[in-house]
């Protein structure tokens, strides 16, 4: 390690899932250690148990405050902002204690990033059901982060880095106009303003990673883009005006955005390189397509925050928790993406 490496907070997520295993593998991964100084945010005994179960030998230094992090250290720092009553939480089950701990870890890491002590955070998966069991009425990471950061306009985006899966030098980003919500509620939550904001957030992200003239496609909500109103009128009543609004109100040059386009056709074109970004209307419309393209490589990125936050695109995987079989690729990619996004932000700050 060198003093110049960015400090990346890795939250354990729901400790009943595979989060601790992902973090344990990450903090001992040469590819990770070459690009950042990882800081575990979670209960130190949980990570010690996990390292032992995986047969990994590593030095762990508990710190009482993130200010105790020393750059260039060969040790693994671990900070626990949560409660201590989690050591008997069973693996693979919904538990209110695990839900509360995941929330505490996330809040602690977020505040560290907001204060500048942490440069970016990468979050292991949490359980929405465990959050609710703990009395925390949040649908997921995105909503908690938005509330803690005071960010009104945020979007959940899955991003597939450039490679063999998408024919695009900048990868493919898919931002969602609605967050974690029921399918029944989606049409009522879609507004022209909300969709236009999502287009602008996606456009800004793509520019930040070097895509100077992003090409964005906007999904229709209904089959066949409503088939001239036969299957629904959201396309010409809400979505098309949002596309026009984003084009009209953007800074010069105007945003290159088209739509609404039937989602099945749009994602095929995007994967072939015709678009740099896609705006999906709801969770599964975007998630299914991206995960089919690259389940282990897609990264979840929260747009619209004053801090950098990424995560793997999968969930807690309760069914394999504690078995030592969780693939670390997605979590490693999320760390690599967090480091890149932090570097991009620093470069933009330096150049005004």
- Both 76 and 44 in a single domain? yes
- Both 252 and 350 in a single domain? no
How many domains are contained in the chain?
2
Give the pLDDT of residue 249: 76
- Both 234 and 275 in a single domain? yes
Give the pLDDT of residue 165: 81
Give the pLDDT of residue 20: 97
Digit-coded pLDDT (tens) for 241-274: 999 999 987 655 689 999 999 999 999 999 999 9
Q: Is there a contact between 135 and 168 (Cβ–Cβ < 8 Å)? A: no
Instruction: Residue 318: name the closest of 10, 12, 11, 19 by CA.
Output: 19
Give the pLDDT of residue 2: 46
- Both 33 and 175 in a single domain? no
- Domain ranges, residue 189: 155-302
Instruction: Residue 165: name the closest of 331, 333, 349 by CA.
Output: 333
- Both 66 and 209 in a single domain? no
Instruction: Residue 200: name the closest of 180, 177, 181, 221 by CA.
Output: 177
- Both 206 and 234 in a single domain? yes
Choose one of 302, 326, 344: the last residue of a domain: 302
Residue given tokens 């907070």 in the structure block: 9
3-class state of residue 148 by DSSP: helix
Give the pLDDT of residue 124: 97
Write out residues in the chain with pLDDT < 50, as ranges. Answer: 1-2
Give the DSSP letter string of 194-261: HHHHHHHHHHHHHHHTT-SS-EEEEE-SSGGGGTTTTS-SHIIIIIHHHHHHHHHHSPSSPPEEEEEE
Digit-coded pLDDT (tens) for 282-326: 999 999 999 998 877 899 999 999 999 999 989 999 999 999 999
- Both 226 and 273 in a single domain? yes
Residue given tokens 């069991």 in the structure block: 133
- Both 274 and 341 in a single domain? no
Give the pLDDT of residue 168: 86
CATH number of the domain that residue 119 is part of = 3.40.718.10
Give the pLDDT of residue 1: 40
- Both 79 and 50 in a single domain? yes
- Both 298 and 312 in a single domain? no
Give the pLDDT of residue 329: 92
- Both 147 and 1 in a single domain? yes
- Both 98 and 13 in a single domain? yes
Residue given tokens 């932000």 in the structure block: 345
Instruction: Residue 9: name the closest of 334, 348, 329, 325 by CA.
Output: 334
Beta strands in the chain (DSSP E): 7-11, 37-41, 60-63, 76-79, 120-123, 155-160, 172-176, 215-219, 256-261, 277-280, 299-303, 309-312
Give the pLDDT of residue 348: 75
For residue 207, what are its two tokens?
């520019």
């Amino acid at each position: 390690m060198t003093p110049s490496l960015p400090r990346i907070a890795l939250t354990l997520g729901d400790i009943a899932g595979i989060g601790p295993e992902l973090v344990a593998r990450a903090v001992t991964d040469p590819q990770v250690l070459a690009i950042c100084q990882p800081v575990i945010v979670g209960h130190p005994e949980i990570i010690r148990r996990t390292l032992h179960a995986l047969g990994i030998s590593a030095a762990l230094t508990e710190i009482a405050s993130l200010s105790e992090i020393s750059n260039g250290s060969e040790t693994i720092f671990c900070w626990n902002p949560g409660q201590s009553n989690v050591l008997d939480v069973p693996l693979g089950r919904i538990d209110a204690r695990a839900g509360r701990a995941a929330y505490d870890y996330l809040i602690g890491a977020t505040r560290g990033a907001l204060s500048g002590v942490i440069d970016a955070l990468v979050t292991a998966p949490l359980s929405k059901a465990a959050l609710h069991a703990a009395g925390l009425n949040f649908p997921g990471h995105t909503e908690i982060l938005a509330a803690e950061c005071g960010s009104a306009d945020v979007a959940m985006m899955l991003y597939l880095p450039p490679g063999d899966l998408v024919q695009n030098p900048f990868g493919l980003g898919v931002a969602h106009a609605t967050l974690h919500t029921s399918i029944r509620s989606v049409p009522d939550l879609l507004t022209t303003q909300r969709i236009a904001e999502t287009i602008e957030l996606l456009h800004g992200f793509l520019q930040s990673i070097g895509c100077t003239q992003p090409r964005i496609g906007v999904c229709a909500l209904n089959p066949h883009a409503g088939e001239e109103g036969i299957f629904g009128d959201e396309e010409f009543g809400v979505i098309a005006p949002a596309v026009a609004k984003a084009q009209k109100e953007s800074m010069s040059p105007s945003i290159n955005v088209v739509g609404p386009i039937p989602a099945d056709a749009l994602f095929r074109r995007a994967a072939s390189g015709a678009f740099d970004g896609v705006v999906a209307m709801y969770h599964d419309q975007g998630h299914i397509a991206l995960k089919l393209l690259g389940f282990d490589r897609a990264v979840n990125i929260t747009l619209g925050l004053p801090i950098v936050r990424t995560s793997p695109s999968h969930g807690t995987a309760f069914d394999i928790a504690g078995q030592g079989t969780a693939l670390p690729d997605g979590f490693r990619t999320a760390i690599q993406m967090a480091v890149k996004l932090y570097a991009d932000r620093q470069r933009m700050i330096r150049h005004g």
